[in-house]
Amino acid sequence: MFKLMITLTKALLLALWAASILSLLSILPEPYDQPVLMLGAVILLLHFFEFLLVRSKVAKRTGGKTGFIETMAFGFGYWLPVLRGK
């Protein structure tokens, strides 16, 4: 169940990042482009604060690697399995 939750979280975030990039490129239709872009910006900001909170714990588990890019892309989908050792 844990792996399923992590996999679904990563898949949803990948879809959000793809939609955000399409919105930046003005490919998404007019009523959807701004909300998707704003949601992407909010999630990115939340992931940055999340990174600040867990970076030292993740670095201890990964031998000094903080996982900045992974945390910015996947949030707890990256660091929770690292901290749980799975």
5 pLDDT higher than 70: yes
**Rounded to an integer, what distance in angstroms lies between the CA atom of residue 24 and that of residue 22?**
5
Structural domain total, the chain: 1
The average pLDDT across 16-41 equals 93
Quick one: pLDDT at residue 64?
A: 86
Contact status, residue 72 vs residue 48, Cβ threshold 8 Å: yes
Query: 28: domain range?
Result: 2-84
Give the position of tokens 């949601």: 39
CA distances to 20, 46, 70, 80 from 66, in Å: 25, 17, 9, 13
The average pLDDT across 3-12 equals 95
Quick one: pLDDT at residue 86?
A: 62
Q: Is 52 exposed, middle or buried (0-12, 13-18, 19+ CB in 10 A)?
A: exposed
The average pLDDT across 12-30 equals 93
